[in-house]
Structures are given as structure tokens and as C-alpha cells.
Structure 1
Amino acid sequence: MSKFTTAAVFATLLAGTSSIAHAADTLTIASWGGAYQESQAKAYFEPFKQESGANIVTDEWSGETAKLKGMVETGTTSWDVVDVEPGHALQGCEEGWLEKLDYDSLGGKDKFIPGSALECAIGNVAFAYIFAYDASKFPNGGPQTVADIWDVKKFPGARSLRKSPKSTLELALIADGVAPTDIYKVLDTKEGVDRAFKKLDEIKPNVKVWWGAGAQPPQLLADGEVAITTAYNGRIYDAVKSSGKNFKIVWDGAALDWDMWAIPKGTSKLELAKKFVAFASQPKNLAAQTKYIPYGPSSLEASKYVDKDVLPNLPTAPENSKTSFSISAQFWADHDEELTERFNNWLAK
């Protein structure tokens, strides 16, 4: 074998080894897309890549429990870290398709806001389901209460609501006069669920789009497809700040919830996934995300790193949380699948 042939073979072997090593250091993270996932890329993905040398591959999902659960149960886990909601975290822990976290490596549970540190998931940000409108559609003043969403005479125009029972059923009950503090007391009964669906019957003819991805609501407003939509507060804020849109956020009846990092069972990158979660849970890194989207960080120490002009735009700010409520993780862990089935059947009618 000539020295040139030997060199070529050696180079090929090196390339193969490099490729294998590269694949071993690739972390696949699933999140919610749009401006939110872009903020994560800047605050977590890119800095972690620089620090660890690992490559980050991203994917999107819409929160469908069956997809994540099925992936683990069939032994086809392709996500190493997933941004989940608390209901996913409780169900995944109870049913065994999410890894339990080691809080000693994260500084202890007492370092995080109560409710954000669960056995199988750690909160990164608090966000809010709010509703928003295009101010140009309402020159005499736009809707100010949840009930106004249902008032199509006073506030004409197409609506868009989330294609999920979670947050949508709660919204319907508030529109029907239920106090935010009593929502789950009512919703935990058959009569309460029936009441919510009956209220949704009223607005259904005016809902042009049932959105699934968080990037949809601001785009629907921008395209003029709808005049009023529910949305994640950060997505509307980003459209106003980055694109100069004339959109208004209404905080009445805001539903506060957490986004959380979780590790699916069966990932072949378990140790790397743990390192990423620890990195993303550091106070300064959590605070960094608020530069790009106004969601409240989970770490108790993070607020001192948040810019003062950003604080008033967070869903946890006192002025914004006067009539808000926290989504019940336990309720949705117990009822997500049955209510999703009923909701999808209702939509199909």
C-alpha cells in the first residue's frame, strides 16, 4: 500500500471517528418554536454549545402528551431534553416516562420559586396565557375583559383561541362569570365542564382559527385574519417590540403557567442532558432570557440580573397579575387526556 493510499485510509478513519464523536455530543431539544424558542437559543443553546462543545439540534412540539409518552414507551426516544408544562411533568413522573432530577446538582429546590421545582422537571420561566387585539381594529377602544371576547357586537371581528382544553376551558368559565379563584372548584365537576363547553358553544361560530403553535397568534393579528386572539404574552410583546405591531395585551384573567425542562426516559444522551439542564437553571442564564422575551425566571436569585425596564412586562409583575390565576398542574395531570378527547370531538362537530 502506497503512502498516499495509507494516508487516505487513515484520513477516512479519522473522519469516521470524528463523525461518531460529533454524533455522541449532539443534544436534541424540543420546545415550542417561534420567538420563545429563539430566546432560548440566545440564552441557553448557543452559550451551552460554546461552553460544552456539544452541538444542539432543535425540534418543535405542540404539547401533545401522547407523542412524548409514546416515544418513550416504544423505545424511540429522539428528544434528549423537552420543554414541558407542569401537567406533563406530573404525569410523566407518575407514569415513569420522565427522568427524576437531582436537585443537589441544581443548587437545591429552595433556590427556585415555589411550584417551579418538581420531581421530574425544573421551571425555567413563568408565562401567561393572555388575550390580545389589533388596536387598529378598535379606534374607539378595544376589549378590556375576558367577557369582551364573547361580545362580538361591541367588538366585531374574527377570533382565535387555543386548540387545547387547557386555558381555553378556564377562559370560558371566567367569561361566564366564575371568579378566577373558583375556576378549578367548578371545573372539577361534570356540571362545571359542561358549563365551560356551553359557553364555548356561544363563541365557536366566531372563532376563525384554533391555534396550536405559539407563533400563530401574532401572525394571525398581523395578517388581519383575526381581530382578537388568545396568546402567550411573550409572543405579543415580541411582535410589538421587534416588529412595531399595534397590538395590545390584556391581562384580565391571565392564566399563569410554567415552562419546564424535563428529560425523557430512554435518551442515549442522559449525562449531557443533565449538564444542559443544570446550565440552563443558573440564575444569570435564566435572567438572560428576559432580554429576548418577557417571561419570569424561576430562580429566586435571577431577578437581580433582570433589566429594570423589563420587569414591568413580566406576567409576575403585581400590576399584571391582579386578576390572574395559576393553572392547576394537578388538575391537568388528572384530566388532560379525557378533556382533550372531549375537546377534539367538540371541535369536530
Structure 2
Amino acid sequence: MKKLLDTSISRRSVLAAGAAVAGALAMPSIVRAQDKSLKVGVYGGYFKKSFDEHIFPEFTKATGIAVESVAEPTGEAWLVQLEQAARAGQAPADLSMMSQTATLKGQASELWTPLDSSKFKHFGELLPRFINKYPDGRVAGIGAVAWYITLVSNTDVFKEAPTSWAALWEPDKKDKLGLLALASNSFLLDVTAKTFMGGSKALDSDDGLDKAFAKLAEVKPNVRLWYRDEAQFEQALKSGEIPMGQYYHDVTGLAIADGFHVRSTFPKEGGIQDSGNWVLSKASKKVDEAHVFIDYMTQPSIQGLMSRKVGTAPTLERKVLDLTDKEFAAVSSEIEPIIPRYDLYVSKADLINQKWTELIVG
């Protein structure tokens, strides 16, 4: 969720008064005391500003727990800081939004305090992909926010919307594409596997990875820009200079609302859904407050609030949400998404990054 959110992880709606009151009444009295507080790490920029303005104050009203928000540095720098601090018995933040790959890396050192799912009233309504578990089944993280990367295009240049990610490989797209520059945030290997190889299981073997890289390399003549600067691609998309590529569904929607001739398409193979987790530092002493926070954030009404005010895709089943069809479409899709193979971006990081540099962007 960019421009809406800080870049890199990059990432990167109205609560009814009755729901807030009901939430407050349901909270144990021990955590409604005014001296209760919680440090929460969130992605910076517009994203943090939106949470500070629209989300955290409502949580404090409902629970009496004060929130001190902490702007996380981009990339995995925050993971390193949390690990170093935990070794000293300190927690720069109690709860943090953490990327999926960083969540997995933190598991290796048991950095995350396991969460008690019985304390989350809507745990059973969370989509399974938003429950991160240790190998032994303990819950390491709960989906905090999600967003989509879709197939975007300039409607002046391409009159008809594409229907498949395969459009990126078509000859008429030569020198017309803008694609994300890193294997670990473009997820184009996952797109290739879903579009041409029957699904992500094709990436399980080194031979499958080699075939995916070979197929993805065929798209290179069509790529004008491998971008890290999202604003650069956004401007080129709006002007028609680079009329197609992959970009963030929510931000493209903002451009459409501003009158630009662009579209966001969920291909038949699904949009790419990326997300971040709520994780609890093992050095934190605020275990009770953290569980109250996650319980609150996974309420359907709060998921709706975040979709409307922050632009995030909900982590709960569609049927329990209070979003209208239009509100839901602004941030999500009913088409089954492409879920990146985060496990591979951790376990085979060196191999993937080497091949990516040599074969794709080199």
C-alpha cells in the first residue's frame, strides 16, 4: 500500500459507537485501568498517521489502554532491532506489524511470544492464511494488515482490460511494462508458477525454480522499468509512458478517483496478496494488553474501519464484514489470491536473489 504507506514493506471504516461501548464492556476490568499502556510498532508515513488518527484512539476509548505508536524502520531493520533488544531483555515495541518473511525469521530465535487464540473472539473467522504458526502449531502471529498487487494498465493505451497475468508476456507489451525490482516484493515467481506451472507447488524443487526463472526471463524484453521508486512508476502509468505493469490496487484506486485514466485488474489467477502480522516480542511484559489489542483489531467492525480509513484488505471472512460491495472491491477481491511462498524467500533467499540478479534484472 504505497503512497498511502511508507515504502519498502511496504506498507504499507467507521466504527459505530455502540460497537465501541460493547467492546469496552466485554474487556476484563484488569485491562481497563487508565494506567495500562501498549507500545505498538507500525509502518511509518501515511500508514502510521492513519492509525494514530482513526484506529488507536478508538481502541483506547474501548479498552482504556493507551497506545504509544512507534514508526518502524523499513525492510528487516526492525527485526534486527527487536532481536538485539530482546537479548537485553528490552522491547522497543510490545506488538509490531511484521512482514511475513521477517515473522518467519523471528521464529528461528523464538522471538515471538506465542499467542493464546482462545482470547480472540473472532479467531475462527480469520482467513487461515492470516494465522502464522510455529512448526509445532503455536500461534506466532495474527494478520494485522493486507494489501493487493494487481495488474494495472492505462486505459488510453489499452482499451480493454487484461484478464490474465499472461498479458505481461504478450508481444504487444514490448518495452511497455513497469515491474517491481526485487524477487521478495514483486512475487513474480509466484505469478509465473500460478499462471504457467499449475500453482506454487511447482516451486518446491530447485528444478521447478529453474523452470520458473526461465519462463519469467521471457518477460524481460517487455519491461521498460524495474522499479523500486513507486512514485516513478505511478507517474509513468498515469501519463501512459509505461502503460502496464504491477502495482498496488488501493493506490491505483486513488488515482482513478483523481480522474486518471488507469485501471486495476484482478486477473483470473488472482491478485497478489501480501500482508503483515501482529507479533509480540518475547521481551514484552504486556502480554494481557497485547491479547486485548489483537482481539479488538480482529473484530469485523474494526476490520471495516481499517478498510475504509487506512485502505487495508480485511483479514476476516467476507460474510462477517460490514463492508458494502463497493467498499470491499476498493480494497479486496472475491477471486482467490496468489499467496507468496514466503517460506522459500527465507529458506532459499541466497539462491533466489542470485538467480534474480543474474537472470531477471541483470
Same fold by TM-score greater than 0.5: yes
Match of 2:263 in 1: 248
User: What 5-or-longer segments of structure 1 have no aligned partner?
Assistant: 1-23
- 79 and 208 in structure 1: CA distance in 2 versus 1, 3 angstrom threshold: farther
Instruction: Tell me if the contact between 1:27 and 1:273 (Cα under 8 Å) persists in the aligned partners.
Output: no
Identity of aligned residues (%): 18
Match of 2:14 in 1: none
Instruction: Tell me if the contact between 1:165 and 1:343 (Cα under 8 Å) persists in the aligned partners.
Output: no
Task: Indicate which of 56, 62, 70 corresponds to 1:57.
Answer: 70
Match of 2:339 in 1: 326
Give, in angstroms, the shift of residue 132 of structure 1.
0.6
Task: Indicate which of 306, 318, 338 corresponds to 1:289.
Answer: 306
Match of 1:228 in 2: 244
Q: Does 2:85 align with 1:75?
A: yes
Task: Indicate which of 223, 242, 254 corresponds to 1:238.
Answer: 254
> May I ask how many residue pairs the two structures share in their alignment?
312
Instruction: Tell me if the contact between 1:28 and 1:81 (Cα under 8 Å) persists in the aligned partners.
Output: yes
Task: Indicate which of 320, 323, 327 corresponds to 1:310.
Answer: 327
1:115 maps to a residue whose letter is R
Distance 2:181 2:287 in 1: 33
Distance 2:92 2:81 in 1: 8
Match of 1:157 in 2: 176
Match of 1:207 in 2: 223
TM-score (norm 1): 0.72
Instruction: Tell me if the contact between 2:176 and 2:242 (Cα under 8 Å) persists in the aligned partners.
Output: yes
Match of 1:21 in 2: none
Match of 1:3 in 2: none
Instruction: Tell me if the contact between 2:79 and 2:102 (Cα under 8 Å) persists in the aligned partners.
Output: no
- The alignment partner of 1:291 has SS state of helix
- 114 and 216 in structure 1: CA distance in 2 versus 1, 3 angstrom threshold: farther
Distance 2:251 2:272 in 1: 15
Match of 2:58 in 1: 47
Q: Deviations over 1:294-318 (max 9, x none)?
A: 644223488342234323445342x
- The alignment partner of 2:294 has SS state of helix
1:54 maps to a residue whose letter is V
Instruction: Tell me if the contact between 1:105 and 1:278 (Cα under 8 Å) persists in the aligned partners.
Output: yes
Task: Indicate which of 132, 137, 140 corresponds to 1:120.
Answer: 140
- The alignment partner of 2:152 has SS state of strand
- 165 and 193 in structure 1: CA distance in 2 versus 1, 3 angstrom threshold: farther
- The alignment partner of 2:256 has SS state of helix
Match of 2:13 in 1: none
Instruction: Tell me if the contact between 2:216 and 2:360 (Cα under 8 Å) persists in the aligned partners.
Output: no
Distance 2:227 2:212 in 1: 19
Instruction: Tell me if the contact between 1:49 and 1:55 (Cα under 8 Å) persists in the aligned partners.
Output: no
- 273 and 92 in structure 1: CA distance in 2 versus 1, 3 angstrom threshold: same
Match of 1:103 in 2: 117
Match of 2:42 in 1: 30
The alignment yields a C-alpha RMSD, in angstroms, of 3.6
Equivalent residues in 2 for 1:132-147, closer than 5 Å: 132-138=152-158, 140-147=159-166
Q: Structure 1 residues 128-137 or 221-230, which shifts more?
A: 221-230
Distance 2:79 2:243 in 1: 36
